[in-house]
Amino acid sequence: MDKNIVLIGMPGCGKSTVGVVLAKITGFRFLDSDLVIQEKEGRLLSEIIAQEGLESFARIENRINLGINVKKTVIATGGSVIYGKEAMKHFKRTGVIVYIRLPYEQIKTRLGDLTKRGVAIRKGQTLKELYDERAPIYEEYADIIVDEENMDIARTALYIRDMIKQLASEENNDNE
């Protein structure tokens, strides 16, 4: 399969950590889109959000993600990637979208201070409200949904690899 594997989900669900392991077991490259944004902007995500505001950050994130042109790469995206319709269309066209789903309570425990992480959250919005807002959007974009609750990193990565193989096999059968 030449398509990319695009990981989406809430901040703290393990996209980057799982992505590195997934890249190793598939032979794909690994790319963290948040790091690409920081590199191109010359600032941390938290600085971009503080200096530019959420709407400008969303435009920057969408533009930079839209410009990611790679093959056979595991791409760990930022949690707010789903708000960039053009970038998501691009990722859908060039990859398999995998939603790493984790219950709210576990996300809350993993995250800690949101401002230090550069989480795109509106002033006055709670993490629970953000979670409830994003979850259906992640599901809408996902080709594969992984319930990570009782899986460790290695098992999650292996599960994703196997699901992608199954998806590719089904596509091949459909094309015959």
Q: Model confidence over 113-159: pLDDT tens digits?
A: 666 666 778 888 888 999 999 999 999 999 999 998 888 899 999 99
pLDDT at 46: 87
Over residues 92-120, the pLDDT tens digits come to 999 999 999 999 999 988 887 666 666 77
Residue 175 CB neighbour total at 10 angstroms: 6
Strand order in the sheet with 95-101: 29-32, 73-76, 4-8, 95-101, 144-147
Residue 162 corresponds to which tokens in the numbers above? 């196997």
Residue 73's contacts (CB-CB under 8 Å, 6 or more residues apart) are 4, 5, 23, 28, 29, 30, 31
How much of the chain, in percent, has pLDDT values that exceed 70?
A: 94
Over residues 52-91, the pLDDT tens digits come to 998 999 999 999 999 999 999 999 999 999 999 999 999 9
Residue 126 corresponds to which tokens in the numbers above? 């709670």
In angstroms, the CA 99 to CA 160 distance is 10
pLDDT at 2: 75
Task: Please compute, for residue 146, the number of CA atoms within 13 A of its CA located in the half-sphere on the CB side.
Answer: 29
Burial category of 137 from C-beta neighbours within 10 Å (exposed 0-12, middle 13-18, buried 19 and up): middle
158: left (phi over 0), alpha (psi -120 to 50) or beta: alpha
